[in-house]
Amino acid sequence: MENLIKICCCKLPESIKEQKLHTLYSKKFLRLVLQRTMQIEVREEDIVYGKYKKPSLRRYPDIHYNISHSGRYMLCAVAKVPVGLDIEFCRERSQEKLARKILNNEEYEIYLNASDRQKCFFRYWVLKESYLKWTGEGITRDLDKLDMTQWWKFLEIDQDYECCIYSEKETQVEVIEIPYGELEATDEKGGTYMNDEYVTFTIGKQKKIALIAHDGKKQEMIQWCEDHKDILKNHFLCGTGTTARMITDRTGLPVKGYNSGPLGGDQQIGAKIVEGNIDFVVFFSDPLEAQPHDPDVKALLRIAQVYDIPMANNKATADFMITSKYMNDEYDHQVINFKNNIAKRASTL
C-alpha cells in the first residue's frame, strides 16, 4: 500500500447529480471506501480539518484521503502518502476569460494552439485543483503561479470528464469501481440499511459486455459480432480467452481477454459480475457437446441470475437483447442486498 493509491469511483444516477446531493452522499462514500480499501471503521469525530479545511483522520494519521465529485461521478483516493484528486465535468461553454486568469503565459500559449481547447482547459484545471488539494491549500493562491514539480497522472474515467491525481512522487494507481447500489445500501454510519432486501443498481448507457462461446459456437459468435459491430463498438467488451482473441482478429473489435473457459475464464467472468464490472452476458453455449468445465458454466449462469444480469444463451435471444431500447439507455434493476443477507445468515447459523 505504501506505493499504491487506490481510487474508488462511483457513478451516480441522473437524479442525484446536483452538488447539494453530492454532499449528502460524500460521508457515506468515505466510510464505504475506507472499509473497502483499508478495513477500518471511521466515526464522525475521527474526521478533523487542517488550516485550509483539508480533512484527515485523527485515529489514523498515516492514512490519507481526498474526495472529489462532479456531474455524475464521485471519487475518493486513499493512500499512505498525501494525495490530491479532482474530477470535472467538461461543460461546453467559453473558457477564454477564465483560461487567461488561471494559466501562466506558457500554458496559455499551449491552450491557444490546442486542437481541443475545452479538453486542454479542463486538463489544466484538474491538474491545478489536484495540486492544491494535495498541498491542502485549496483555491487560496493564484492558479497561474503554482510550482507543480511533483508527480501527477490524468485518469480516463469518462470521455466527458477530466480527472487528475497528484502526489509527491510517482505511484501506482488502482481504480476500483463502487456500484451505486452498494453506496445506496450504506447508511450514514457506514453500515447497511438492514430493512432493505434489495438495492438498486444502474446499468449505464455504455455497457460492459462479456462474450463467451463454446468451440462449436465460436464461428456463430464471430458472425454475430460482425453483424452487430456498429453497436458493440460503443461498449466495453471482454470475454474468455480464445473467443476474445478470435473476435478481435476477425472483426477488429477490441475485446479484453480472460482465461479460456476450461482454465477458469468462466469463473473470472462470474467474479466480475459479483464486483459489478459486467452488465450484460452473451454466451453461445453448445447444448449438444459435453464440456469438461460444465460446473464452471453452471456457476456462471447462476451468478448472472443472482445479480439480475441480462444473459443470452443463443443467437435469437442475443438479437432481441442487443436491439432493445435499453442498449442506448440506463437501466435500473434490483439486486439482493448482500450485506443484509450476510448479516441475517451470520445471526441465524
Question: Any idea what the CATH number is for the domain that residue 221 is in?
Answer: 3.40.50.1380
- Is 118 in the same domain as 24? yes
Stronger pLDDT, 277 or 188, i.e. the higher one: 277
- Is 103 in the same domain as 227? no
Cβ partners under 8 Å of residue 289, min gap 6: 214, 215, 216
- Is 176 in the same domain as 242? no
Quote the pTM value: 0.60
Cell numbers linked to 32: 464505504
Q: Is residue 313 part of a domain?
A: yes
For range 254-282, the mean pLDDT: 92
- Is 176 in the same domain as 251? no
Question: What is the residue range of 289's domain?
Answer: 205-329
Last residue of a domain, one of 184, 219, 239: 184
pLDDT of 42:
83
* Residue from 190, 217, 212 nearest 303 by CA: 212
Least confident of 87-96, 265-274, 311-320: 87-96
How many domains does one find in the chain? 2
pLDDT at residue 347 tops 90:
no
Q: Is residue 298 part of a domain?
A: yes
- Is 247 in the same domain as 175? no
- Tell me the CA distances in angstroms from 162 to 76, 122, 150, 295, one per residue in order: 15, 6, 19, 43
- Is 154 in the same domain as 42? yes
Beta partners for residue 199, in sequence order: 335
Cell numbers linked to 319: 438479437
Q: Is residue 335 part of a domain?
A: no
Last residue of a domain, one of 124, 149, 184: 184
Cα separation, 202 vs 39, whole angstroms: 26
Q: Is residue 195 part of a domain?
A: no
Average pLDDT, the chain: 87
- Is 172 in the same domain as 217? no
Q: Is residue 251 part of a domain?
A: yes
Cα separation, 233 vs 311, whole angstroms: 19
- Is 216 in the same domain as 176? no
pLDDT of 19:
57
3 state SS for the chain:
CCCEEEEEEEECCHHHCCHHHHHHHHHHHHHHHHHHHHCCCCCHHHEEECCCCCEEECCCCCCEEEEEEECCEEEEEEECCCCEEEEEECCCCCCHHHHHHHCCHHHHHHHHHCCCHHHHHHHHHHHHHHHHHHHCCCCCCCHHHCCCCCEEEEECCCCCEEEEEEECCCCEEEEEECCHHHHHCECCCCCECCCCCEEEEEECCCCEEEEEECHHHHHHHHHHHHHCHHHHCCCEEEECHHHHHHHHHHHCCCEEECCCHHHCHHHHHHHHHHCCCCCEEEEECCCCCCCCCHHHHHHHHHHHHHCCCCEECCHHHHHHHHCCHHHHCCEEEEEECHHHHHHHHHHHC
86, 158, 266, 296: which is the annotated catalytic residue? 266
- Is 122 in the same domain as 241? no
Beta partners for residue 239, in sequence order: 211, 257
Predicted confidence band of residue 310 (pLDDT cuts 50, 70, 90): very high
- Tell me the CA distances in angstroms from 48 to 32, 45, 230, 282, 300, one per residue in order: 18, 7, 51, 49, 45
For residue 227, indicate whether it is catalytic. no
pLDDT at residue 96 tops 50:
yes
pLDDT at residue 18 tops 70:
no
CATH number at residue 135: 3.90.470.20
Cell numbers linked to 176: 476500483
Last residue of a domain, one of 117, 150, 184: 184
- Is 153 in the same domain as 28? yes
Q: Is residue 152 part of a domain?
A: yes
Amino acid at 227: D
Q: Is residue 336 part of a domain?
A: no
* Residue from 58, 10, 4, 1 nearest 167 by CA: 4
Cα separation, 300 vs 294, whole angstroms: 10
Q: Is residue 133 part of a domain?
A: yes
- Is 217 in the same domain as 154? no
Q: What is the pLDDT of residues 124-154, one digit of tens each?
A: 999 999 999 999 887 767 788 888 888 999 9
For range 196-205, the mean pLDDT: 77
Cell numbers linked to 238: 471482454
- Is 211 in the same domain as 173? no
